[in-house]
Structure 1
Amino acid sequence: MIIIESENFIVESHEKPFVSRADGGHIRIKVKDLSIEDRTFLSPKQAIELMRLTMIIGESFIRAMNNRGVPVVKINYQDMGNWAFKTGDKPFLHVHVFGRATDATRQIFPESVCLPSRESGFYEGFEPLNVDDMGEIRNQIEITLKNKKYNEEIWGLI
């Protein structure tokens, strides 16, 4: 489910999360132009847009999940795309944004996120973010965007 969109990216709840909601949650930032395989294919303006967006999402995600009762203390960002090669598909740029909660039971913090194959069964029972979580994330994004630090003009985006 889409949380927000920017000019070149879609921010969405990952419906098959690597980090369950109770362990902190999982958001994906996906490039709209699926011919862009990784960050080296981005224009300078797109790269700036992506960095700004990851920062906005990270700040907003921590506050939102804490407001929703999930004690997220850290955000992990991962740019992968390896699994496309399992099926012969072409990878596209996407950044996984993982909330890391102090009371996690499956993706234990402060250990690294464990990412076995989908076929392993490890992710069975993992829950995506719910509608209320996403609403609170949107609310927090609106608050974050009021911070002068994220003004598009300062970032050279307008």
Structure 2
Amino acid sequence: MRVSDRTKLSPDQACELILLTMLVGEAMMTGLNRRGIDVGRINYQENGNWGVFRSSGPYLHIHLYGRARSAKIQKYGDALHLPHRETGFYDGFRPLDEGDIREIKDEISRLLKTEKYRSIPEISRRPAGSRSGSDIQARNGATGGLYRDGDDEEVDDAE
């Protein structure tokens, strides 16, 4: 399903989206800290700005930014600065490595077994019309497109 923004979601779908971002954000916080990246906060942002230049138009997607306390470029506590890719701003950034992504995925798997998120796999098998507001469809690959700056802060280039 492709929609331009959250106002096109049903209330149930909107609740599912929130729960998914909670799961991934919690997994990022725990997993990346375990990998030595001192993430103190996750910023959640709905984007689509660059999609306005495409014939297909913008589509709903959520960026999760791990805000590292020790970041030198996107300093902890400051607003994010996210210029277009061609500006060269991101040239020194490096992608999260396989170990980082594996740690996040492993943490997602662990969290799915907790009381807080236990119903997610069950919910994803239900017909869309039978889901309640607290339901969610779990999706794989939620960490794609994330980058570290030279000082271990993540920035998503998928915009």
Scaled to the shorter chain, the TM-score interval is 0.7 to 0.9
**CA drift at 1:151:** 3.2
**CA drift at 1:88:** 4.5
Q: In terms of mean alpha carbon deviation, does 49-58 or 111-120 score higher? A: 111-120
Q: Which whole-Å CA distance do the structure 2 matches of 1:52 and 1:84 have between them? A: 25
**CA drift at 1:75:** 0.1
Aligned residue among 87, 93, 102 for 1:135: 102
Residue 72 of structure 2 corresponds to 105
**CA drift at 1:156:** 4.3
Q: Which whole-Å CA distance do the structure 2 matches of 1:89 and 1:115 have between them? A: 22
Q: Does the alignment pair 1:77 with 2:44?
A: yes
| 5+ long unaligned stretches in structure 1 | 1-32
1:90-134 CA-to-partner distances (Å, cap 9, x unmatched) read 001000000000111211111011111222211112112111111
Aligned residue among 32, 54, 58 for 1:91: 58
Give the ranges of 4+ consecutive aligned residues of structure 1 lying more than 4 Å apart after TM superposition.
Answer: none
Within 5 Å, which residues of 2 pair with 1:1-158?
33-34=1-2, 36-152=3-119, 155-156=134-135
1:27-80 CA-to-partner distances (Å, cap 9, x unmatched) read xxxxxx23x001111122221211110000111100100111100010001101
Amino acid at match of 1:48: C
Contact 2:17 2:136 (C-alpha < 8 Å) held by counterparts? no
Amino acid at match of 2:70: D
TM-score, normalised to structure 1, is: 0.72
Change (3 A) 1:83 1:156: closer
Residue 21 of structure 1 corresponds to none
**CA drift at 1:157:** 5.3
Contact 2:41 2:66 (C-alpha < 8 Å) held by counterparts? yes
- The structure with the larger Rg is 2
Amino acid at match of 1:47: A
Residue 149 of structure 2 corresponds to none
Amino acid at match of 2:28: F
Question: Matched residue pairs, number?
Answer: 125
Contact 2:39 2:67 (C-alpha < 8 Å) held by counterparts? yes
Q: Which whole-Å CA distance do the structure 2 matches of 1:62 and 1:96 have between them? A: 14
Amino acid at match of 2:23: I
Residue 23 of structure 1 corresponds to none
Q: Which whole-Å CA distance do the structure 2 matches of 1:124 and 1:69 have between them? A: 22
Change (3 A) 1:157 1:77: closer
